[in-house]
Amino acid sequence: METLRVELGERSYEIAIGKGCLGGVGEAVSKLSGVSPRLALISNPTVHALYGRAVEESLDSAGFETATIIVPDGEEYKGLMWVEKIYSELLRRRLDRQSVVLALGGGVIGDMAGFAAATYMRGIRFVQVPTTLLAQVDSSVGGKTGVNHPLGKNMIGAFWQPSLVWMDMDVLSTLPERQLLAGLSEVIKYGVIWDRGFFDYLREARKDILSLDAQAIARLVRRSCEIKADVVAKDEREGGLRAILNFGHTMGHAIETLTGYTKYLHGEAVAIGMYLEALLSERLGIMKQGGAEEVRALMDAYGLPFALPDGLKTDAMLGAMAVDKKTVGGQLRFVLPEEIGKVRVSEPVSEEDVRSFLNSL
């Protein structure tokens, strides 16, 4: 297995990346200092049917008494109602302050399980076992946890770092194509915000990546995690630099909110948001002409959407973006590319400029 370390002082942790390693997760969790034998495994029906037994057997062999909690599959269930159900089960099974919550699933499961762990008894440890590409390259690393509100995505949450991230590349073989492509949007994001060479690699290695070539997938997962770990180590709580990880998310989250979290997968909405925010950057004179087209062309090569959905009103988009976490004093801010490989968090962009841009699409 390969390991990366997220350096956060006493909150540092390892990202372990391997193939066929799911059965080793129990032993790895048992090596965390001072853990209770009572552990909660949180998953959804689809993932649990595929991998739950292997993980439960691994935990059992490592001496854990596992409480398995199944929550429905889908972004629309990522809310406080289901977190409360998780709390109830944690209490019923008498998990204590030394217990561990293990998230087995994609970003929705990781976010919900992490938020439950962050707030149960004022915080217990949790472990991420991501089973989607998007979760492996993005949401499982960095300690952002939370749930949605009908008025905004991820508006209720906490920064709570995992104690371990355990990735098995083999699980991607059962991932539906749509989920795989949605994860690639976050991979493309890293190229735009940080690494021009990585962006070019994604274009050149397209066939190998889409065919799940082991070497290509390992490279893109590792490089994505390296970039995110570097950014998070420099700015754990998004005081400055870490905001660049939200490229495409201001408009992307608005699209998710306005379509009820059901029309698009998260990565698909972010793909649209990245193209729109690159176009906005060109319009504001920050990105040179043609840069947005490079972003669009790479997303198109991977079958990702990039057009603003029909029927979304400008006023509704502005209203949804007004609750974005980068908005300060009612003024909209975006992560805007200067070129491929370099972005900036913008100065406030006037509502008039954003309205005019959206109306022009």
**Other beta carbons less than 10 A from residue 278's beta carbon:** 26
Q: In the numeric block, which tokens belong to residue 54?
A: 């292997």
Active-site residue, selected from the candidate residues 48, 78, 125, 242? 242
The DSSP secondary-structure symbol of 48 reads I
3-state class (DSSP) for residue 47: helix
With beta carbons less than 8 A apart as the criterion, state whether 131 and 139 touch: no
With beta carbons less than 8 A apart as the criterion, state whether 124 and 101 touch: yes
With beta carbons less than 8 A apart as the criterion, state whether 167 and 177 touch: no
With beta carbons less than 8 A apart as the criterion, state whether 192 and 340 touch: yes
List of residues 6+ apart from 240 with CB closer than 8 A: 345
Rounded to the nearest 5 degrees, what angle is found at the Cα of 137, between the Cα atoms of 63 and 119? 55
Active-site residue, selected from the candidate residues 266, 296, 326, 333? 266
Q: Decide if 48 is catalytic.
A: no
Q: Decide if 44 is catalytic.
A: no
Virtual CA dihedral for 153, 158, 161, 163, nearest 10 degrees?
Answer: -100
CA distance 191 to 342: 9
Active-site residue, selected from the candidate residues 144, 153, 296, 333? 144
**Other beta carbons less than 10 A from residue 201's beta carbon:** 17
Active-site residue, selected from the candidate residues 125, 189, 253, 296? 253
Q: In the numeric block, which tokens belong to residue 314?
A: 């400008």
List of residues 6+ apart from 246 with CB closer than 8 A: 325, 326, 335
Q: Decide if 144 is catalytic.
A: yes
CA distance 202 to 216: 9
CA distances from 15 to 103, 161, 310 (A): 14, 12, 40
Active-site residue, selected from the candidate residues 44, 148, 154, 246? 246
Q: Decide if 10 is catalytic.
A: no
Active-site residue, selected from the candidate residues 48, 125, 189, 249? 249
Active-site residue, selected from the candidate residues 56, 75, 186, 277? 186
With beta carbons less than 8 A apart as the criterion, state whether 165 and 141 touch: yes
144 closest CA partner among 107, 195, 182, 89:
107
Q: Decide if 249 is catalytic.
A: yes
Active-site residue, selected from the candidate residues 48, 78, 125, 228? 228
Rounded to the nearest 5 degrees, what angle is found at the Cα of 16, between the Cα atoms of 123 and 266? 70
Active-site residue, selected from the candidate residues 238, 256, 268, 282? 238
Q: Decide if 177 is catalytic.
A: no
Active site residues per annotation: 122, 144, 186, 228, 238, 242, 246, 249, 253, 266
